[in-house]
Structure 1
Amino acid sequence: MRRPTATVLTLTTTLLLSVATVPVNATTDPFSRYAQQELTWGACAFTPQPDALPAECAAVTVPRDWAAPEAGRDLVVSISRVAATGQHLGSLLLNPGGPGGQGTSLPGALAALQPQLHERYALIGMDPRGTGQEGGTAPEQLPATCEVPVERLSQRTDLDARDRSAGSIAEHLKLPRAVAEACQSEALTPFLTTWQTAHDMELVRILLGESTLDYLGYSYGTWLGAKYASLFPRGAGKMVLDSSTNFQGRLQAAFEAWPQINQRLFEDTFLPWMTRQFPAEVGATTAEAAANWERARRFFAGAGTSPDQFDAIFTGMGSPLRWVLGALVFVLGVRGANGETAATVNGSPLAPQLDARSRAEFGVPLESLTPAALALALAEDPRDYRLVAATRYAVACGDQPTRSAAWHKRLSDQQGPRYPLFGWQYGLSEPCAYWSDAPRQALPTLPAGVADRVLVVQGEFDPQTGYEQARSAVRAAPGAALVSVADSPFHGQYAFDGNPCVDGVVNVFLLRNSRPGDVTCPGVPLPNETEVHPVPGPVRTPAATVATATSPTLPALRESVRAMISDVNAPVR
């Protein structure tokens, strides 16, 4: 998971506005003061990924509060651009999700992987307010963070949400309460919301000189894009919402669904995949694999890794790299439970990928990563303060009214028996349960006149935004279209998954303005497999849509961006 390492971003505190919805003064154009600035394009602070095309960056000055533009210190938002190589069709703004993901490096990657799109569109990235400047190291370029004193947190290293004793529950509740209080104490927090960022996006459209702004957003970026289109329907162009929340409902519902959708992925796709890839280590049947996973969990608990930490590794596995990491931990845990010390994997074709994950995550080659060493590496490193991303919680908890700690405790009691992988833990770990600030602005739902510009793309077994969320959004927005990706367990489908069906449908929509009705695309094979193994689920898959492996271009770049989109949309950062 990506965790910010910045110190807290401090701003001058001014008198805040009163509660409830505060409309922009109808007699004054809030953009007039800021629309006069000129964009000055120059070098970006981030280093482009290998194979990505170079981008140029510019700074955009925005008010701290669009509801009162004259009050408080202005903020600066960073945007990037990869200009079209051919006849300019429009500007496509990109967002990787989060909330709080930085997006200025996305245009260069997308331009390299989708040259047809690069030819006609200016691809625009954005580091939303509160996320700093991607690649920047100066204090003013760092993300806003909340400092949570460690003494406010549990000092236990054996936390297991399955333990329903009063003492265990009290220890679990320390973290979400401390995070909520720390983030609400920051002066900037009330202004890190989707409503504010949508206004920043509208200013970007004006400064780019576009009559409409086309959009591609992943995960939380679907919520942001839908709310932009709801607030500024005249400025919204073609909207591609990939791995979608229910943007017509509650944002927090996407997080509340994590126990169910992660249990489904774990049981129906991940464990069967493990039996095909590592039968000698985890067993040849799903039942054997499930039993061995429990043995691995007990081994790591005995070696100093909290069961909660172990469970978290197997939630939010929305990218192939996360699957490989899960396989690495699983296999070594079983070896440890068997009393073995070696880390070899019986000549598995996945051994090179396991070795790469071992080096990237733990700093040692696979052959040096014994089960005991892995248990030590998984233990949290104590610090004076734990830093969490302010934008993540300011948006997730500040966009809409929250539900109480008692409600979340009941949710944990209900979800735990049904979805034990994360069900016991989620309801005891949600900072929104302790969020006391009321939303300052209301977020409208998508109006009917905009829905025919919306294309939703959704994987069937996505463990980070469930398929049912996307389907509910489309049903509540008559005119929107849904591209279902059968049997796909990954988060983020278009451009970076190497799926020719998905890429073709989205490109036709963006480049030819021809949006399909509801369609189903086959998923792509899982890591180290050459065909898709269909699994019963919410998508009805025609028999003719079984896909086989292809060799997409620039695989390293694809893997890197897919992992970023998955990680930036993890439940805790």
Structure 2
Amino acid sequence: MKLSDVAGIACHNKGHVDRTEGRVSNRGLFHIRGRLNVRASVLASVVLACGLSACGGDDSDPLQKYREQTVEWTACDPSILGVSNAAIDELWATVGDRLKCGYVKAPLDWSNTERGDVVMAVMRLAAGTPEKKHGSLVFNPGGPGADGLGLATSLLTAFSNSNPENPQGALQLRLLNEYDMIGFSPRGTGASTRFQCATNELERTLVTNAVEWDTPENIANSNYNGRKIAEACLKNPIAPYINTDATVRDVDLLRGLLGDEKLNYLGYSYGTWLGAWYASLFPEKVGRMVLDSSLDFSATLEQGVFLGQPPARQRLLDDVLAPYAVRHADYFQLGNTEAEVRGIMPSLSPRVQQVLATPLSGLGYIRTNADRYLDTIFAARSLDVLLGLAPDPADMEAVDEALDQHVFDSSNPQRNTALRETADSLLKQYAGTWVSPSPTSISMSSSASVLVAVHCNDTPATTDLTVWENLLRGLAPRFPMFFSSLLEVHACSFWGGPKVSKPAITPMKDLNVLLVQSQYDSATGTEGANALFQQLPKAHRVFVNNDFQHGVYPYTDSCVDPLVTGYLLGDSLTQREKICAGHPLKQDAPTPEGKAKAANSPEVPASQPPVYKDPERARELIEEFKRGLIPPQFKP
């Protein structure tokens, strides 16, 4: 490496910069990596070279044009979020000129600007009281692959209903008034430069139930699909640059263009991985950082997601929802013991098990879906019975007619209708999977494409196919309804390895970040969240007992919300960890007041006005916000 090359690294972004060769910080520290060996005299020359070239100042710096660009903030196109509804129209009419949109140019390859640019779409909701502004608060909803452009406005719609006469409501209004709220589409997604994996080759049908999956033909089909998806992605020339390292540098560029010395950040799910990567790369630039529903940054994404989610989802079923069904056995009609409830899924035909697995995984993201989760099991059991009674199970018209005539719950007409609708939806999935499948070309959405690229580019994955098969054989009998994600998303085995080097978490250990977690989160399980927390001695955590909400904040309570909102506004946290009580599930609340709390209406002393002027409307808006955190493949 030439001295000029090292000087270029030192000048990069006037702060921490990682390469596989080495890392230089503006605090004069140089950490040796790989095979690079630089003496102190060379480092002194680097510093001198940086000073002579006016780091970040003259034309010799290829990143100067990005750091000095002017973001043109203009009125947002009403369709910029890809949806149009009354709530959005109402919001934009209310905030008026405070809401602006803009585009930021960033290098496609942060180590070689000659490869071209990407464009990042940004939405800014200006602080209501600019004279009190703390800076900007940047949001990320996770994924990877989720579009976070409208996330800040979604939180606004909930908190704008806060009651200024209530102390907690006033605090929430301060958050809206004292920060510019920033949403953005990460590279590859939404309104930014999009990334997509597509090819003409047809995807092969997979058997993903625990009874029938392990055959040479099915394994060959999974390998074929994984290889073709990897090839389709890698044919896209920007594939190597869809990774967390590049997105983190995009975010740091955005921070500077917003005029902020520090990044204030609220990230959910994969957004915690993104935040941890930023904090490990640029620790001196971290302001207030909330990581909600965390992945273990010291692990690989394969370990945290594909191997971590099946046990978390099984624990939710076994330890939360099966006992809930037993406590209200007359209502759910799934059995009088936990063993009976847990035994329903293995008793179903393998084909019905397969169409049930995805809905259960999706419904496990949001606590208010608990009743729907159990009702979906009830509907699947009914469908299985009707398929077994049909003279020809492939005669979908006859089975559909039997469903129309079937009585699911004679004591509750409203629930009976809902159960029939759920069974009908499962029947459609059954027909498309087993009766009249229609193979299609491999063509993934930008969200799904980015998810694959980030997983494969960020960290190593299992490439030995024998080891991969044995991983599946270990998962299937223990987590039969939830093991198949590794079977279905198999591209990283054929990717060729990660394209970036994940930074060590060490620089993050001195930071006062705030973690938020629920006990039974089925997407980012407590094992990984606990591991991250234990590695960060200066961090604090808000932990919600006896709940499974993925994406906790805002929780609409008097424990989680004031702590997180106050932290973002600069409050000091005195406890290393605060344990908050989870909301009761719907059927556990015996009184109207209890049911209101179960529906996420915060409890307040009788002497105080409510936190929200319209608690029911606030509940609806917060649920809509939480639904935005669910991965697209699990949305209805």
Residue 106 (str. 1) matches residue 151 (str. 2): yes
- In the alignment, structure 1 residue 73 sits paired with structure 2 residue 116: yes
Distance 1:448 1:428 in 2: 36
Partner of 1:318, secondary structure, is coil
Aligned counterpart, 2:15:
none
Alignment partner of 1:294 is 2:346: yes
Give the one of 504, 512, 518 matched to 1:453: 512
Unaligned runs of 5+ in 1: 1-19, 134-140, 359-364, 533-546
State how far apart, in whole Å, the 2-side matches of 1:482 and 1:143 are: 35
The one-letter code sitting in structure 2 at the alignment partner of 1:64 is L
TM-score of the two chains, using structure 2 as the length reference:
0.73
Match of 1:308 among 336, 354, 367: 354
Aligned partners of 1:347, 1:150: CA distance in 2, in Å? 51
Partner of 2:141: 96
In structure 2, what is the equivalent of residue 555 of structure 1?
619
Aligned to 1:84: 127
Partner residue in 2 for 1:123: 181
CA separation of 1:68/1:350 partners in 2, compared to 1, >3 Å: closer, same or farther? farther
Q: Distance in 2 between matches of 1:463 and 1:107?
A: 24
Partner of 1:38: 70
Q: Tell me the distance in 1 between the aligned counterparts of 2:146 and 2:368.
A: 19
Q: How does 1:428-507 map to 2 (within 5 A)?
A: 428-448=487-507, 451-495=510-554, 497-507=555-565
2:304 is the alignment partner of 1:244: no
The structural deviation recorded for 1:149 is 4.3
Whole-angstrom CA distance in 1 between matches of 2:590 and 2:195: 44
Q: Is this contact kept in 1: 2:519–2:544, CA < 8 A?
A: yes
The reply to whether residue 383 of structure 1 matches residue 440 of structure 2 is: yes
1:273-422 aligned at under 5 Å gives the runs: 273-275=324-326, 276=328, 279=331, 281-295=333-347, 297-298=348-349, 301=351, 307-316=353-362, 317-320=364-367, 323=370, 325-339=372-386, 341=403, 342=406, 344-348=408-412, 351=415, 355=418, 366=421, 369=424, 372=427, 375-376=430-431, 382-388=439-445, 389-404=448-463, 405-422=465-482
Matched-pair contact (CA < 8 Å) for 1:61–1:74: yes
How far 1:266 moved relative to its partner?
1.4
Contact 2:356 2:377 in 1 (8 A): no
- For residue 487 of structure 2, give the secondary structure of its aligned residue in structure 1: coil
Please give the secondary structure, in 2, of the residue aligned with 1:489: coil
Distance of 1:428 and 1:368 partners within structure 2:
26
Secondary structure of 1:369's counterpart equals: helix
Partner amino acid, structure 2, of 1:481: H
Match of 1:7 in 2: none
Distance 1:221 1:278 in 2: 41
Give the 3-state SS of the residue equivalent to 2:343 in structure 1. Answer: helix
Q: Is structure 2 residue 218 aligned with structure 1 residue 160?
A: no
Cα 1:475/1:417, change in 2 over 3 Å? same
Unaligned stretches of 5+ residues in structure 2: 1-18, 25-45, 57-61, 93-98, 160-172, 387-401, 592-596, 603-614
**Following TM superposition, by how much is the alpha carbon of 1:283 offset from its aligned partner in structure 2, in angstroms?**
2.1
Match of 2:392 in 1: none
**Amino acid in the other structure paired with 1:493:** V
Q: Report the AA paired with residue 186 of structure 2.
A: P
- Which of residues 54, 57, 77 is equivalent to 2:101? 57
Give the whole-Å Cα distance in 2 for the aligned partners of 1:370 and 1:79.
37
Secondary structure at the counterpart of residue 123 of structure 2: strand
Choose the corresponding residue for 2:628, options 552, 564, 567. Answer: 564
Q: Pick from 561, 575, 584: which aligns with 1:525?
A: 584
Quote the Cα distance in structure 2 between the aligned partners of 1:215 and 1:459: 20
Aligned equivalent of 2:167:
none
Residue 48 of structure 1: how far off its partner (Å) = 6.7
Q: Is the 8 A contact 1:343 1:370 kept in 2?
A: no
Which whole-Å CA distance do the structure 2 matches of 1:562 and 1:346 have between them? 33
- SS at 1:525 equivalent: coil
CA distance in 2, matches of 1:527, 1:381: 40
Q: Percent identity at matched positions?
A: 28
Residues 231-270 of structure 1 deviation map (CA, whole Å, 9 limit, x = unaligned): 1122221110000001233232211111111111111112
Give, in angstroms, the shift of residue 229 of structure 1.
Answer: 1.5
Change beyond 3 A, Cα 1:337–1:430: closer
Aligned to 2:391: none
Distance 1:288 1:519, change over 3 A: same
* CA offset digits 1:521-572 (Å, max 9, x no partner): 111223454289xxxxxxxxxxxxxx866525322222222122122586x9
SS of residue matched to 1:123: strand
Measured at CA, do residues 332 and 123 of structure 1 come closer, stay the same or move farther in structure 2, by a change above 3 Å?
A: same
Contact kept? 2:149, 2:190, Cα under 8 Å: no
Distance between the aligned counterparts of 1:334 and 1:373, measured in 2?
15
* Alignment TM-score, normalising by the size of structure 1: 0.81
SS of 2:488's partner is coil
Aligned length: 512
CA 1:154–1:107: 2 relative to 1, 3 Å: same
Per the alignment, residue 280 of structure 2 pairs with 230
Partner amino acid, structure 1, of 2:76: A
What is the CA RMSD across the aligned residues, in angstroms?
3.2
CA contact (8 A) 2:325 2:374 kept: yes
The 3 A distance-change label for structure 1 pair 119 and 281 is same
CA offset digits 1:147-179 (Å, max 9, x no partner) = 15453x3246x5534322323333333333322
- Gap change, CA 1:204 and 1:569, over 3 Å in 2: farther
Deviation at 1:395, TM superposition (A): 0.8
For residue 625 of structure 2, what is the amino acid of its counterpart?
V
Deviation at 1:286, TM superposition (A): 2.1
Distance (Å, rounded) in 1 between the aligned partners of 2:210 and 2:225: 13
My pick for the range that moved more, 330-339 or 274-283, is 274-283
Q: 1:418 to 1:334 in 2, by over 3 A?
A: closer
Residue 239 of structure 1 aligns with an amino acid whose one-letter code is: M
| Distance in 2 of aligned mates of 1:510 and 1:338 | 53
Alignment partner, residue 270 of structure 1: 321
Residue in 2 that maps onto 1:196: 246
- The code of the aligned residue for 2:361 comes to T
**Does the Cα contact within 8 Å between 1:250 and 1:400 map onto a contact in 2?**
yes
Provide Cα deviations, 1:72-126, integer angstroms capped at 9, x if missing partner.
2211101111111122112110000000111111111112323331021111001
Question: Deviation of residue 38 (structure 1)?
Answer: 1.5
Matched residue SS, 2:181: strand
Q: Distance in 1 between matches of 2:478 and 2:385?
A: 29
Distance 1:367 1:432, change over 3 A: closer
* Partner amino acid, structure 1, of 2:209: D
Higher helix share: 2
Q: CA deviation at 1:189?
A: 0.9
Counterpart of 2:340, as a letter, is E
CA–CA distance in structure 1, aligned partners of residues 148 and 158 of structure 2: 16
